[in-house]
Amino acid sequence: MRKGILFVISGPSGAGKGTVLKEVFKTVTDLEYSVSATTRAPRNQEKEGVNYFFKTREEFDKMVKNGDMLEYIEKFGNKYGTIKSYIESALERGRDIILEIETLGAEQVRKAGLNPVYIFLTPSSVTELIRRLKSRNTETVDWQQRRVEIGRDELQCAYNYDYLVINDDLQKAVTALIAIIRAERQKVAVNIDKIQQIIDK
Ligand code: 5GP
């Protein structure tokens, strides 16, 4: 049995990662979603063990200390982290799994030697991204400053990824992401066992 493939999807806040992934999972059903641990409180319909494992800061810090996290970051005053055993268990069972994490966390995953497929999701312009962020943000924000930060910090990370998916049209982005998953599954390196089986038959 082949090992699972690890996919890492990142992109700036407002890129629509959650929406795109939700659609992808409707079509690609044999794919797991890495449920992260977080110290932030559940929102609306979010469920324990489905969207996140909700932890106190003490619990989270203990997990970090015990080496349970593949990566973790602090963002907007909350901690978020990928649970190492969750990923390893899926990969060992031959299940492909997708991590939806921000770029700093993705950099940490790079050091773990798991050889993931990196996918970067973004709208086609910072102007559009700012428009989306404005529409859901009620706080006072220096948008000129945010614009600079997004261009300088968040989008520059895209150069380190394997695939770029532009999310201006939801259906197009979903189709592109499904195509990436399918192409990665057809790679020879992933199907070494099958070649020997074909030869032996
Ligand atoms: P939210 O609070 O909106 O669910 O997530 C905020 C940000 O944290 C998003 O960009 C999301 O991708 C990121 N995030 C969620 N889980 C993890 C994680 O385990 N590790 C890292 N590095 N980022 C995460």
Residue 136 sits in which domain range?
6-34+95-200
Residue 27 has pLDDT above 90, yes or no: yes
Q: Residue 6: left if φ>0, alpha if ψ -120 to 50, beta else—which one?
A: beta
Residue 196 lies in a domain: yes
With 90 as the cut, is the pLDDT of residue 31 above it? yes
Is 148 part of any domain? yes
How do 32-33 and 117-122 pair as beta strands?
unpaired
Ligand 1 pocket: which of 75, 104, 122, 133 to mutate (most atoms within 8 A of CB) = 75
Q: Which pLDDT tens digit goes with each residue over 122-178?
A: 999 999 999 998 898 777 888 999 888 888 888 999 999 999 999 999 999 999 999
Pocket of ligand 1 (CB under 6 A): 13, 36, 40, 71, 73, 75, 80-82, 100-102, 105
Which of ligand 1's atoms lies nearest the C-alpha of 73? 22
Q: Is residue 55 part of a domain?
A: no
Question: In CATH, what number is assigned to the domain containing residue 163?
Answer: 3.40.50.300
Q: What does the pLDDT read at residue 150?
A: 86
| Structure confidence by residue, pLDDT tens digits, 89-99 | 999 999 999 99
**Total domains present in the chain:** 1
- Starting at the edge strand found earlier in the chain, the sheet holding 36-38 runs 52-54, 36-38, 78-83, 69-75
| Nearest C-alpha neighbor of 116 from the set 199, 10, 192, 40 | 10
Is 131 inside a domain boundary?
yes
Higher-pLDDT residue of 1, 17? 17
State the helix-helix crossing angle for 170-185 and 17-27, rounded to 10 degrees.
Answer: 60
194 in any annotated domain: yes
**Tens digit of pLDDT for each residue in 43-82?**
989 999 999 999 999 999 999 999 999 999 998 899 999 9
Q: Is the pLDDT of residue 1 over 90?
A: no
Determine the distance separating the centroid of ligand 1 and the alpha carbon of 144, expressed in angstroms.
24
Positive or negative, the CA dihedral 132, 143, 161, 125 is: positive
Residue 1 lies in a domain: no
